[in-house]
Amino acid sequence: MVAHYLQIAEPYIREYGYAAVFGLIFVEGFGIPAPGETMLVSAALLASQGEMNIAAVLGSAWAAAVGGDNVGYAIGHFGGRHLIVRFGTRIGINVSHLHRVEHFFARHGGSVVMVVRFFEGLRQLNGVVAGTAGMPWWRFLAYNAIGGLLWVLLWGYGSYRLGAHMDDLVALSHRLKPYLIGLALTLLVAGIAYLIYRGKQSGPRA
């Protein structure tokens, strides 16, 4: 498994160095499919072999994660909400529903932003959803920075320290990931559905 990670990412790292780590994680942050996590693990493993500086790897990855997610936030804030307000009624979402989702993010958005950073597929839409939901930028920035730091420490510094034991960690992660993603999505959808239901119940009555 470790050899597989290195085989995918090592050519790019050797060609572009830390810029490869930064670039792939950055574009992944605003929804472009990219092997950001693979790149982080590979760079950390090379650092454990003395071929890269682990502090530079972690710093580049963290800056890219935070920066990319903030681009995603801007996309959602300036584009996503406008589209929902304008066309949402065509798929059953009105402004009242959006306000409920915004209220949910106002109360629980920080935890959501930190947790979904660890899930493939959700991580790429983290900033876009938060921006669309109207989460205050300063709040998003703070929780996103913390979540990004924890993610970098787990997969970056963890890979650097464990080295040869990474095969076991990666295998366990892949076995658990579908269940954890399913649980996270279920909780998120259930929360949004509850807020929409509450919005309908508390709406104007004839």
What's the pLDDT tens digit per position in 21-39?
A: 999 999 988 878 788 888 8
pLDDT in the model for residue 205:
46
The reported pLDDT for the residue numbered 49 is 84
The larger pLDDT score, comparing residue 159 to residue 61, is at 61
Weakest mean pLDDT among 1-5, 13-17, 71-75, 136-140: 1-5
Residues 49, 47, 165, CA angle at the centre, nearest 5°? 65
Structure confidence at residue 91 (pLDDT): 45
Q: How much is the pLDDT for 4?
A: 60
| Mean pLDDT on 48-76 | 92
Q: Once rounded to an integer, what is the mean pLDDT over residues 193-198?
A: 62
Query: 0.85 exceeded by the pTM?
Result: no
The packing angle between helices 137-152 and 95-116, to 10°, is 30
Give the closest residue to 185 by CA, choosing from 144, 129, 132, 135.
129
Quote the tokens at residue 181.
Answer: 């993603």
Name the percent of the chain lying above pLDDT 90.
Answer: 21
Report whether 143 contacts 110 (CB < 8 A).
yes
Confidence bin at 182 (pLDDT 50/70/90): low
| Percent above pLDDT 70 for the chain | 61
Rounded distance, CA 110 to CA 104, Å?
A: 10
Predicted local confidence at residue 32, as pLDDT: 82
102: exposed, middle or buried (C-beta count within 10 Å: 0-12, 13-18, 19+)?
middle
Summary count for the chain: helices (H), strands (E): 10, 0
Tell me the pLDDT tens digit for each residue of 135-171: 888 989 999 999 999 999 988 998 888 765 555 555 6
Give me the pLDDT at residue 22, please.
Answer: 95
Question: Region 188-193: what's the mean pLDDT?
Answer: 65
| Local structure of residue 80 (DSSP, 8 states) | I
Q: How far apart are CA 159 and CA 49, in angstroms?
A: 11
Helical (H) or strand (E) element with 140: helix 137-152
Which residues does 158 contact at the CB level (< 8 Å), separation at least 6? 44, 169
* Across 114-133, average pLDDT: 79
Give mean pLDDT, residues 42-49: 87
